[in-house]
A and B are shown apart, each in its own frame.
Chain A
Amino acid sequence: MFFHNLKYELLINLRAPALIAWLMIFPIFLGTVFKIGFGSIYETVDSFGSIPTAVVETKENEIFRSVVESVSEGDNKLLDVTFTDEENALRMLKDGDVKGIIYSGDKVTLTVVGKGIQETIIKSFIEQYNVYADIITDAVRNDPARAQDVIAALSADMTACREVPLTQGDPDHYAQYFYNLIAMVAIFGSVTGLHITETNQANMSALGARRNCSPTPKSASLTAALAGSFIAQAVCMTICVTFIQFALKIDFGERLPLVYAAAIIGGCLGVTMGFFIGSIGRLSSEVKNGIAMTVSMLCCFLSGLMVGNIKGLLAEKIPWFNNVNPVAIISDCFYCLNIYSDFDRFSFKMISMAVYIVVFTSLGIILSRGKKYASI
């Protein structure tokens, strides 16, 4: 009986591939968008390109000029400097050809338009110059004989701070967005879950009414329908993870099989959530759909899909929330696999998902089995 039902559930899924296809296309599309977007952030922020800067010398300042020249040479130059007069410099600044104008004279000052990262880099360059100028002045006033030692100290290797590597996995900040994307695909399994109730409830479709008249217990036909959706959703999740891992080259760490397992379980969680929502009350299928969508979106939002630091904020303010938000649980699975060497947290997240699945499934079946409807 179960396999008879399952066979046809799968066949129906296969014959109506539009929804499943969209569930597959959408992580591929959004994943690519993320990759392009974040890739370009690395380009602008995390690799120091040289910053176009204009220098206007209001008074001869030999030392500053030589310092500026030293940082605007070589492969890894900090600034891309144009020496020019004030009028031209302002025009360049206005047109966006340079990010800032350094006025060098008795005092070195900076003129900028915006307040982005490149402006900040120019500013800190000037500050560093000022510090060195201060030290030399101080040394000369104290004891000119020590000037050599001072310069030696200044030019000593910068080794005071040793950086300790954190993790075994990939500490890519933006990986979190991809984790959330997978979790989003998983939670959108709620759409297929909703569909189950629609074709199984007498008050939602003629098909549901016919199924209700058959001697197959509702729990049996629902379990088969759920299994069918699990399988379809598992395929979606597998494709999604495979694409993100192999096409977008987002590193999930060493434990890839577990990543797949977590994604698939997450997908099942999504399906059962939709199934549960579909089983409640006498709402129209459109409204149930709306509820499933908004709940999914809100969970994704709170897990940081749109703006990453929301999850961090929640972790600070309401620590328990991330352990309850299903999307956060799913995406944390990947994070735990990547960051922690032990399995404690990962197992906790997996168990949380399993609890959700069991609760949603049982509530859904309890709500819809042996049921008569007030109106059809």
Chain B
Amino acid sequence: MQVFNAFFKVLRSKLGLALIYIPVFIAMTIGLTFADNGGGVFEQERLNVCIFDEDATPLSSALCDFIGKRNDLVPLENDRDVIIDALYYGCVDYVLTIKSGYADKLSVGKTDELYESMRMHDTYSTVYMTQMLNEYANTVSAYIAGGNDAITAAGKAGEAMLKDAEVNTAKFDDNSGAVLTSTAALYFRFLVYALIGLTMSTLCPVLLAMSRKDIRYRTNCSGIRPNSYTLQILAGCVIYIIAIWAVFVAIGAVMNGGVFEGAQWIAVLNSFVFMLFTTMLTIFVSSFDPSINIINIITQVISIGMCFLSGVFIDQSMLGEGVLSAARFLPAYWYIRVNRMLEGSEPFDQNTLVLSIAIELGFAVVLAFMTLLIRRVRYGGMTVHKAQTSAACITE
């Protein structure tokens, strides 16, 4: 137990560092949760549309009303730079200018170049918007051709186009739908980033201090077996990280709007297993004795890279098949799959659920074994031997 006890003594001296990282990661996770306004998962997405009505007739305001029903109208200063900024940063998705003469032209059935649009991104929603505006003109014109006056035609066209198709959500026997609130689901999704980043940033300094060369040599000289040493370190790490994890789960409960119930505990279990993985990953990486600066960079590469590829920062439904099949080799992918089932984006399937969590656990176990192996090789006397021979060559 000596190693285990020493671990916590070292840990105590590094707590200050942890106290810098923990609030930042909490802030970022909560920030991500609330900043992600859907991020691409949309059921009939509302766009932020800015309209400059140069025509200013009843017919053009009918168009504005029509657009406003399904979208949010955003006022903007009619200045090119302001518009470009707003578009670039996504404050506005679509800018429409109704050209003067709109009403006159439409009344006589002319539908060419009634308005101008600007958009930054060719996403589905904005392409759809242009299509819908084209259709609207044709629909109004068709109603006029059918014998209605312009205003009535516009009204009927708007009404017809706003009619929703009846959409049912299929319920299968084992499909319990969304288990988590969407806020909690997003929170648990972004937790991946915090867990990787936080585990590595706070645990590595402790591990590196424990395995400093002279201390390691001294430990090597003692009777302790390398496996026992590694297991004691491992136990210490897990206990430490569980403490941090518990803080995040508590915040998760707040996001959830209360204590977890029933199937919601799956989210907690899922994050627990993923935390085991990040702990093993940290121990594994620190077995290579990198400097603290390099650890910091590796942490960024792993956390951000894995989050982008496995559907944390980008929704899995938006990632292509190729990326997703590659992501299967990342535990975060399986974590997110479980989370998607809990948020109702994917059919709930008990087998997939168990499999996913088992795979996450599998990654942790594999890393644990690799760590044991590496520590045996690196700390089992080989390095000491090498260092001694090289020193012996030099001494007089």
Contact = CB atoms under 8 A, between A and B. Distances in A.
Contact of B305 (A33, A45, A112): A33
Contact of A123 (B120, B122, B165, B344): B165
B119 interface: yes
B87 interface: yes
Given A44-B318, A127-B164, A153 B169 contact: no
A150 to B, nearest CB: 5
B138 A154 contact: yes
A211 interface: no
B134 A26 contact: no
6 contacts: A107-B166, A142-B147, A160-B133, A171-B121, A294-B20, A294-B24
Contacts of B170: 90, 93-94, 101, 111-113
Contacts of B292: 286, 289
A161 B31 contact: no
A39 to B, nearest CB: 7
B139 A154 contact: yes
Interface in B9-63: 14, 16-17, 20-21, 24, 27-28, 31-32, 35-37, 39-45
Interface string A175-216: 010000000100010010001000000000000000000000
Contacts of A152: 145
A258 interface: no
A91 to B, nearest CB: 10
A280 interface: no
Given A139-B147, A158-B135, A293-B296, 15 more contacts: A41-B40, A112-B167, A114-B317, A115-B345, A128-B135, A131-B135, A160-B133, A164-B118, A188-B297, A289-B293, A290-B201, A294-B24, A297-B24, A297-B300, A309-B90
A-B CB proximity, top 3 nearest:
A40-B320, A312-B89, A160-B137
Given A116-B317, A161-B116, A312 B90 contact: yes
Interface string A39-59: 111011110100000000000
A118 to B, nearest CB: 8
- What is the interface residue range for chain A against chain B? 35 or more
Nearest to B322: A40
B270 to A, nearest CB: 20
B104 to A, nearest CB: 14
A44 B17 contact: no
A25 B294 CA distance: 11
A119 interface: yes
- Which of A43, A128, A162, A195 has the most B CB atoms < 10 Å from its CB? A162
Nearest to A342: B81
Contact of A191 (B138, B148, B293, B344): B293
Interface stretch (A2-10, A16-24, A61-69, A352-360): A16-24
